Amino acid sequence: MGEMMGDALLRVENLHVSVEGTPILNGLNLTINRGEIHAIMGRNGSGKSTLANVVMGHPAYEITQGTIHYKGSNIEEMEVFQRAREGMFLSFQYPASIPGVQVGTFLRKSVASVRGEAPPPREFRKELKNAMEQLSMDRSFLSRYVNQGFSGGEKKRLEILQLLLLQPDLAILDETDSGLDIDALRIVADGINSIAQDTGCLVITHYQRLLDLVKPDVVHVLLDGKIAQSGGPELALKLEDEGYDWVDALA
C-alpha cells in the first residue's frame, strides 16, 4: 500500500456507523497527518470508542455511509490484522485477557507479525528491555499471562509497551489515561510523546490531565456521533472549566 505524497495519514469522510442496527456515528469528518496529535473529547455514548473501533476494523461496527482512507486507500474491506500490519495501532480501553499466553511470547509474536519477520532474538531482548525500563515495568511482567489478573494501570502500561515496540504510523489511544494514578499517567504520557513525532495520534480522553502532558495539535468535541467543534488546546481547557453544556447549544 503506497502512501501518496501530500495525502493525509487518515481521512475520515462523512462516516456513518451502526452497531446492531443502531446508528452511533452520523457523518463524522476527521483528517490526521503524520506527526499530529488529535484529541477527541465528548460525553459517554457520544461515539468516541466507536470511532476507535471502526477505524481499527472491528467486525461488529457497520459502515452505512462515508469512507475511511488510510495512507490514501479506502480500507473498508481491509481486515483488522492487515490494518495492524500497515501500521495502525489501537490502545484498548478494556484489553482482553488471553489466559495461558505469556506476555513475552505475545509481544515477540506480535512484533513479528506487524514487522513481517521475527526480530533477531538478541536485538529484540534489548529493545524490550529499553522499552520496559522507559515505562518502569518489571521484568516479571513477561512471564505473566496477557492481561490476566492485571490491575487497570498494569493493563494500560502493557498497551503502551506494545505501542513502543510496534512503532505504529497511526496510534489510536482509547481512554488510555483512565484508571491511572498521576505517576503512571506521566509514564504513559512520556511513552506516547516518545513516538509522537512520526506518528499520527488520535487520543480519546475525558480529562484535561492527559492533555497537560501530551500536547494536542487539535482538539475535537464529539456530540451525537459528529464532531461539533474543533480547535486548539484551549478547547480542552474550556471543556474542563465549563463542561459540555455549551457544546449542546452548538448542535
Partner 1 sequence: MTQDAQEAVGDYRYGFHDPESATIRFDKGLSEQVVRDISELKNEPEWMTDIRVKAYKHFVEREMPTWGNCDSLEGINFDNVTYFLRSSDKTEKNWDDVPEDIKRTFDRLGIPEAEQKWLGGVTAQYESEAVYHSIREDLEEQGVIFLDMDSGLKEYPELVKKYFGTVVPHSDNKFSALNTAVWSGGSFIYVPKGIHVEMPVQAYFRINAKNMGQFERTLIIADEGSSLHYVEGCTAPTYSTDSLHSAVVELIAMEGAKIRYSTVQNWSANVYNLVTKRGVAHKNATVEWVDGNIGSKLTMKYPSVLLKGEGAHAEIISVAYAGTGQHQDAGAKVHHLAPNTTSNILSKSISKGGGRSSYRGMLQVTPKANGCRSKVVCDALMLDEDSRSDTYPTMEIGNSTADLEHEASVSKISGDQLFYLMSRGHSEEEAMGLIVNGFFEPFTRELPMEYAVELNRLLELEMEGSIG
Smallest gap from Cβ 133 to partner 1, in A, equals 22
Contact of 29 with 13, CB cutoff 8 Å: yes
58 binding partner 1? (CB under 8 A):
yes
The string of DSSP codes covering 32-100 is E-TT-EEEEEE-TTSSHHHHHHHHHT-TTEEEEEEEEEETTEE-TT--HHHHHHTTEEEE-SSPPPEEE
Residue among 94 and 246 whose Cβ is closer to partner 1: 94
Give 56 or 235: the residue with its C-beta nearer to partner 1. 56
Is 109 or 129 the residue whose CB approaches partner 1 more closely?
109
Q: What string marks each residue from 182 to 221 as x (binds partner 1 by CB under 8 A) or -?
A: ----------------------------------------
CA distances from 158 to 29, 92, 187, 248 (A): 31, 10, 12, 36
CB atoms within 10 A of CB 96: 9
Q: With contact defined as beta carbons under 8 Å apart, do 26 and 190 qualify?
A: no
Q: Does 134 bind partner 1 (CB under 8 A)?
A: no
Residue 73 is a binding residue for partner 1 (CB under 8 A): no
Report in angstroms how near the CB of residue 19 gets to partner 1 at its nearest: 13
- Element of type H or E holding 180: none
- When asked if residue 92 is in the footprint of partner 1 (CB under 8 A), the reply is yes
101 binds partner 1 (CB under 8 A): yes
Q: Which of 2, 6, 21, 99 binds partner 1 (CB under 8 A)?
A: 99
Examine residue 79 and tell whether it contacts partner 1 (CB under 8 A): yes
96 binds partner 1 (CB under 8 A): yes
Distance CA 111, CA 52 (A): 21
Cβ atoms of 223 and 46 within 8 Å: the answer is yes
Identify the residue among 6, 21, 100, 121 touching partner 1 (CB under 8 A).
100
Q: What are phi and psi of 240, to 5 degrees?
A: -60, -40
Cell matching residue 41 = 473529547
Contact status: 98 vs partner 1 (CB under 8 A): yes
Question: Is residue 2 involved in binding partner 1 (CB under 8 A)?
Answer: no
Could you tell me whether strands 88-91 and 61-70 are parallel, antiparallel, or unpaired per DSSP bridges? unpaired
Q: Is residue 228 classed as helix, strand or coil in its secondary structure?
A: strand
162 binds partner 1 (CB under 8 A): yes
In whole angstroms, the minimum distance from the beta carbon of 219 to partner 1 comes to 25
Asked whether the beta carbons of 70 and 170 are under 8 A apart, the reply is: yes
Residue 85 near partner 1 by CB under 8 A: yes
Instruction: Work out whether 166 is an interface residue with partner 1 (CB under 8 A).
Output: yes
For residue 80, state whether it binds partner 1 (rule: CB under 8 A): yes
In the complex, the residues that contact partner 1 under the rule CB under 8 A are 56, 58-60, 79-81, 83-85, 89-90, 92, 94-101, 106, 109-110, 113-114, 145-146, 162, 166
